[in-house]
Amino acid sequence: MDTPEPRLTSLAHGGGCGCKLAPTVLQDILKGVPQTAPFADLMVGNETSDDAAVWRLNDDQALVATTDFFMPMVDDPFHFGQIAATNALSDVYAMGGRPILALAILGMPVNVLSPRTIGRVLQGGAAACAAAGIPVAGGHSIDSVEPIYGLAVIGLVRPDQVLTNRGARPGDVLLLTKSLGVGVLSAAFKQDRLDKEGYRLLKETTTRLNSFGAELAGRAGVHAVTDVTGFGLLGHALEMARGAGATVELTSRPPVLGDALRLLEEGVRTGASARNWAAYGHEVDGLEAGVVRDLLTDPQTSGGLLIAVAEAEVSALQALARINGCGALPVGRVVDGPARVQVVA
């Protein structure tokens, strides 16, 4: 009789975008890394912590390049592959680009997991890419202690339509295309406290492509876009505030995924939430310890797009979002002031 394989999540010390390095740790690591400014055709590098790099090819095309990978947040290998691939594709969409191909990044404990299980991870990733209309054209694999999967993704965008996280303007409304609480639900899953409906919601939101981002390129009134991932809504809104040199006001009542608030009240949360707050809480006003802070700092694996749009264009953009099968709910606005986040009722 074959020995049962261990749960995927039991093989990893973290999962999903909760694996990301804390913002302060990342900043310390990057201090000695040379800036990329000398390259004339590099339109977007690592200067503003944007979602992907952008390289101008000619007057009509620019290359969007990104990579993203993490450890499992669910036990089903196919779902893990789907989620990780969807998350990686999101970086291209957040720049207004359309993906054209992907390369797989795979690290697996080959003496612990069967070839069939590992193959299912790859099949899940390929399914997400097929939904995006692109191939997984190759990749690289290693034998690693913890399971890791993700993609390097290449996309295209017009150079004059590149979207970044730094173009928001005072007066803009902030729209979010997915509800918050992915980290909470994934933590509940690991603790065997997530019911079937909660798992369905977790899978549905994390495997839903952010392809709406490609529709935003060149659209009037759209000034900045980023996807909300490991640093939580607060952290990515703060990056938008820094890029704009303005204050971002966030609501204390953002859209919530399933029972995430109830689970937070019962003490379910990720360690990444506390690390996030420790890294940037000194740049946030109007927020005390509690479930709202834990929700706004909750790491969002394959989270939604945060869009800064002129107020006059909000209704039209929300209608376009509905046509594209996603929401676009107001979660704040940009106002004159220092580069900080202010949480308001």
- Residues marked active site are found at 17
Which residues in the chain belong to E strands, given as ranges?
42-44, 53-56, 62-70, 98-108, 136-143, 148-157, 173-176, 222-227, 247-251, 284-285, 305-309, 329-335, 341-344
Q: Shortest CA distance to 170 belongs to which of 248, 237, 224?
A: 248
Strand ranges across the sheet with 305-309: 222-227, 305-309, 173-176, 329-335, 247-251, 341-344, 284-285
Residues in Cβ contact with 331 at an 8 Å cutoff, skipping those fewer than 6 apart = 174, 175, 176, 233, 250, 251, 254, 255, 306
156/98 Cα distance (integer angstroms)? 5
Render the burial of 135-160: b for 16+ CB within 10 Å, e for the rest. ebeebeeeeeebbbbbbbbbbbbebe
